[in-house]
Amino acid sequence: MELPLTGVRVVEVGQALAGPLAGVMMADMGADVIKVEKPEGDDARGWGPPFGPDGETSLYFYGQNRSKRSVSLDLKSPEGIEALHALLATADIMIHNLRPGVMEEMGLGAEETVKRHPQLVYCTISGFGFTGPMKMKPAFDPILQAYGGMMSVTGYPDGPPSLAGASINDKATGMFTVIGALAALRQRDKTGKGGIVDTSLFDTAAFWVEGQINQYLYDGHVTRRHGTGAAVIVPYQAFQTSDLPLLLAAANDRFFARTCKVLGHPEWSEDPRFLKGRDRVRNKAELIPLIQAAFSTNTRQHWLDALGAAGVPCSPVNDIAEVTNSEQMAAVDMICELPEGGPKVLGLPIHFNRRRPKPSRPSPRIGQHNREILGRD
C-alpha cells in the first residue's frame, strides 16, 4: 500500500533514542529517512548485548533504525557541513537531538538553517529546552525521570523512588516531535514556509505528571508514591493471588460492588467506609488488606475468570515473554521481521486502513548509502 508519508524526505541527524525514534516512525509511515551518522556511527550501534545477526550492531539499533538509509558525514569539516546542506535543500523535515550548542557551533542552528532552507521543518530535541538556566545541560531519560518528578511518584510509599521500566521520556519526546513535525508540514502546505519545532525531555517529563502538577497548583498538595495503585481510585492496583499477581481496576462504584460479590464479601460495598469512591480513597489503608486477603485464597486464573465473568476490568501482570507470546499480540500482528534476514522487532503501533506498515528496509550499515545519496563512498 502507498503510505501516508510517501514522497516526504526526512534528514535525521540523531543518535541514541529520541531522534532515531522520531525518524523510524516517519520511515515506517513511508518517508524517505536519511540517517546522517558520524564516521564511527551512532553510539547506539554498540548498546549491547544482545547484538543482531551481524554480531556487531545492537538489537536496540535494529529496532530504532529500520527502513532508513545511512550516510556518514564528518560534520567537523567544511565538506561535511556543505554535504549536509545539500541534503537539507532536498528535505522536508530535519530532526536532530545532538548535544546542546553543537549545531550552533557548526553554523546549523535553527534560525540560520531555516533562513537558508525556507521549505524546511527544523525539529530540535533537547534535554531541557531552548531557554532557561538548564538549557545547556546534557540529559538522558533517567535524569529527566528524576528531575521532572516522575521518580517521586513511582514506587511504594515505604520504599525509595523508582525508575520506570522503559525510556518513557525519550520515546514520548520522539512521538511529540513527529506530531509537531507533521503539524508544521501541514502548515507549510498552506504558507509555503517551513519553521522550527522544539521538543525536550523536560517538557515531556512535566507532561507525564501533568495531573500531579495541576493538583499542586490548585491546592498545594504534593503527590506521594502509591505503589501499583492510584491516588484517586481505589481499588485500582495489583494484588498477589495464591500463585501470581493480577491487576484490578474497579474504577467506579458498580465495578467495586461486583468485585466484592466475586470475592465473597458483598457487604463491603454497603459498608459506609467503602460506599463511594471518595470513601474508599479515604479508607484505603483499611480496604486494601481485606481485598488482598481474599485474593490470597485462590489462583490468579481463578480470579481472572471470575472477575471477567462479572465484567470487572482486570488483567494478569504479564512479564515480557507472556505479553510477546499472547494471543492478542499475534492477532494484532505487531511483531515483524526485518528484510534481508534481519531480526524480529516490534512494528509501528498504528494501522492505516486497517493495515500495519511493515519495515521497507533492514537497519543500514554505517554510510551504506553514501554512493547512492552523496555520489561517493
The secondary structure of residue 156, as a DSSP letter, is: -
How many helices and strands in the chain, by DSSP H and E?
15, 11
Domains, the chain, ranges and CATH?
9-208+331-374 (3.40.50.10540), 236-240+245-316 (3.30.1540.10)
Identify the pLDDT of residue 14: 86
In this prediction, residue 52 carries a pLDDT of 87
The residues, ordered by sequence, that sit 6+ positions from 375 with a Cβ below 8 Å of its Cβ are: none
- Kindly report, residue by residue over 69-101, the tens digit of the pLDDT: 999 999 999 999 999 999 999 999 999 999 889
Ranges of H-type helices in the chain: 18-28, 59-65, 78-88, 102-105, 110-116, 141-147, 168-191, 201-208, 210-219, 253-262, 277-282, 284-295, 300-309, 320-324, 327-332
* Rounded Cα–Cα distance for residues 106 and 104 (Å): 5
- CA distance linking residue 246 with residue 316, whole number of Å: 4
- The catalytic position among 141, 170, 319, 333 is 170
pLDDT in tens, 130-168: 999 999 988 999 999 999 999 999 999 999 999 999 999
Output the pLDDT for position 220: 95
At 4-61, the pLDDT tens digits run: 999 999 999 988 899 999 999 999 999 999 999 999 999 899 988 999 888 888 998 9
Task: Give pLDDT tens digits for 314-368.
Answer: 999 999 999 999 999 999 999 999 998 889 999 999 999 999 999 999 999 999 9
Per-residue pLDDT for 112 more than 90? yes
Q: With bands split at pLDDT 50, 70 and 90, how would you rate the model's confidence at 218?
A: very high
Q: Are 324 and 335 in contact (CB under 8 A)?
A: yes
- pLDDT tens per residue across span 258-267: 999 999 999 9
pLDDT (0 to 100) of residue 178: 98
- Find the radius of gyration of the CA atoms of the chain: 25
| C-alpha cell, 279 | 470513601
The pLDDT, as a whole number, for residue 341 is 82
Q: What is the pTM of this model?
A: 0.91
Query: Once rounded to an integer, what is the mean pLDDT over residues 225-239?
Result: 93
32 is an active site residue: no
- For residues 226-246, give the mean pLDDT: 94
In this predicted model, what pLDDT tens digit does every residue of 53-66 receive, in sequence order? 888 889 989 999 99
Give me the percent of the chain exceeding a pLDDT of 70. 100
Mean pLDDT, range 290-315, rounded to an integer: 98
Burial of 12 (0-12, 13-18, 19+ CB in 10 A): buried
> In which band, very low, low, confident or very high, does the pLDDT at 274 lie, cut at 50, 70 and 90?
very high
Residue 231: the pLDDT is 85
**DSSP H/E element including 252:** none
* pLDDT of 297: 98
Length of the chain, in residues: 377
Q: What share of the chain is helix, strand, coil (3-state, %, to 5)?
A: 40, 15, 45
pLDDT at 138: 83
pLDDT of residue 70: 96
Long-range CB pairs of 237-242, under 8 A, 24+ apart, other chains included = 237/288, 238/317, 239/291, 239/292, 239/295, 240/292, 240/295, 240/296, 241/295, 241/296, 241/298, 241/299, 241/300, 241/302, 241/303, 242/296, 242/297, 242/298, 242/299, 242/300
